Homo-oligomer: A and B are copies of this chain.
Amino acid sequence: MIRIGKLTDYGIVVMTHLARDPAQAVMAASDLAQATSLGPSTVAKLLKVLLRAGLLVSHRGIRGGYSLSRPAEEISVGQIIGAIEGPVVMTECGGQPANKCSMRHVCTAQSHWHRIDDVVREALESLKLEELARPLRLRKAGALQRQPGDQQPADRRRSKRP
């Protein structure tokens, strides 16, 4: 599989949404959540991670929200993935040289993995957020209602509310 996690894909989606905004306006987490039909909590968590990685800037207070810290051309999907999942490596041999890897005694692929990782990293780095944000310009503006077959996280707000 060699997969990236769902969260990371969400991250791409959210970042793309931000990047598409013409005026780089500040957007609140809840707005973003609604726009992407993802769970508000999930989006909030995500945004915090992206903020910490320096990909976003936040504005606190009543009219607060998030916006990109840099132009979309200077943000790569590699950076987004890196922010959410950690360094882009495929094996235990990640980052560190061959002293940390638990199977270095028996595996002869160390240097090769590093090479593979490099290729992947480069491919990911070369794809910029701007490129993702460009093509879609839906004229259909208000289709944010609940979509039946769509992904709707378990809504368990069953607090005992009098």
User: Which residues of chain B come closer than 8 Å to A4, judged between CB atoms?
Assistant: 2, 90-91
Complex Cα spacing A108 to B131, Å: 10
Interface size bucket, A side? 35 or more
**Chain B minimum-CB-distance residue to A53:** B153
- Contact A151-B108, Cβ < 8 Å, known A1-B85, A114-B144: no
Q: How many copies does the complex hold?
A: 2
- Decide if A88 is an interface residue (CB 8 Å cutoff): yes
Known pairs A3-B91, A111-B144. 19 more at Cβ < 8 A? A1-B85, A1-B87, A1-B88, A1-B89, A2-B3, A2-B81, A2-B88, A4-B90, A9-B91, A53-B154, A77-B116, A79-B151, A83-B153, A84-B153, A86-B154, A108-B133, A112-B127, A119-B123, A120-B123
